[in-house]
Amino acid sequence: MSRNYFGTDGIRGRVGDHPITVDFVLKLGWAAGKVLTRHATGKKRVLIGKDTRVSGYMFESALEAGLIAAGVNVFMLGPMPTPAIAYLTRAFRANAGIVISASHNAFEDNGIKFFGGDGYKLNDEIEAEIEALLDQPLVTNDSSQLGKAQRVSDAGGRYIEFCKGTLPAGFGLSGLKIVLDCANGATYDVAPKVFRELGAEVQVIGNRPDGMNINHGCGSTHLQPLSSAVQEQSADLGIAFDGDGDRVMFVDAAGTTIDGDQLLFIIARHRHQNGGCSGVAGTLMSNLGLELALEELGIPFQRTKVGDRYVVEAMRDNGWTLGGESSGHVLCAELNTTGDGIVAALQVLRAVVDSGASLAELAGGMALLPQTMINVRLAAKGALPANAAIDAAVVAAETQLAGRGRVLLRPSGTEPLVRVMVEGQQADEVAALAEQIAAVVKTEVGEK
């Protein structure tokens, strides 16, 4: 389905550039309010949360005005992780939840994500309805039919208790020394409280947001500061979240990265050993090593298109409770309706505590195949255009790999990038092939 504004995870872009402008977001709030509450039988309620970007204040006010004009009552949560909004939308029996965030992007970007009343991200049909209404004039309700707004003061406490409640009664983290990197983002306040209240000794970095340092040299996309801190503190492990808290990555005691595929394996094997794991959903980017390790355990595995919404669809279709992406989106469907960095981290720590093994030992049960991914910035956002030279470069790489690996080119759903991924058995060969293909892509369709 062709969409003008919605990408793989809401609407995202550079602040001040259409559509991430105040006037557009105001109308988006009105259109979403009309569509998402059209079947409401009682009071119309929508929650709004945000990450720590300075532009969040501006867009929060714009959404609030648009929703109120549509007759919707607005509950303002302030800075909260994206998965917290998914949970609180259900807890408040709201019609929808809205998150103002550009996830792992720099502060110059922002975006709008939506959850339905069930806590799941919107399907294509509902997004299309919202887009269609954006083409209509904004009509403000009569004064007697306007919505109202209020702040929710205990949102953080509610989410902290929810996270702790995803573990068995009596489970604790006493004896573990952990370093957290909160990416100067939405988890900066709630995450340290969760792990401390469970008994862990916690050191925190990336917990001083100033509106402009979100994801800047920290968090799940920049693990070196966490790796250094873990080694300096002689900690057992480190945990890094992204700006909005729906992704998580770990480092072990030696500072070695443990990525989303390895975290999925650790959780899946723990569940397999304690009552069973019905299956795992991954994506086209998931490491082949994950598939092979799960196959050895007898756990079914299915790949989907890239994007956590597609992982969720596969999990729901198969009746599975576990899925995720290499980037650190880990979905535990019996616990929350979307990727939840804190909840996923707790599931990994449960495996560590129950097994008595170190994180490195648990991750060692899966052999990652060498994989190189290179991002090439495109001249324009959108699908990768047909190009004979690029096709030839891919065919040549696949011929050289001769069934010992795979090649994938995937345009980003949120940025004008194409991701060139090559996977195989030999790291040097994989890196060289990825460089060769990326060079052709840059020459043919890259930003000049």
Residues known to be catalytic? 103
Token representation of residue 301: 């595995």
The Cα 400–Cα 405 span in angstroms is: 9
CB 235 within 8 A of CB 179: yes
Least Cα distance to 50 among 284, 229, 250, 209 occurs for: 209
CB 269 within 8 A of CB 278: no
Least Cα distance to 222 among 210, 206, 201, 202 occurs for: 206
Token pair 């004039």: residue? 137
Q: How far is CA 428 from CA 371, 372, 400, 407, in A?
A: 10, 10, 13, 15
> How far is CA 392 from its chain centroid?
33
The Cα 113–Cα 25 span in angstroms is: 12
Token pair 């060079």: residue? 439
Least Cα distance to 104 among 121, 127, 81, 124 occurs for: 81
CB 308 within 8 A of CB 9: yes
- The string of DSSP codes covering 77-137 is EEE--HHHHHHHHHHTT-SEEEEE--TTS-TTEEEEEEEETTSSBPPHHHHHHHHHHHTSP
Least Cα distance to 130 among 307, 309, 5 occurs for: 5
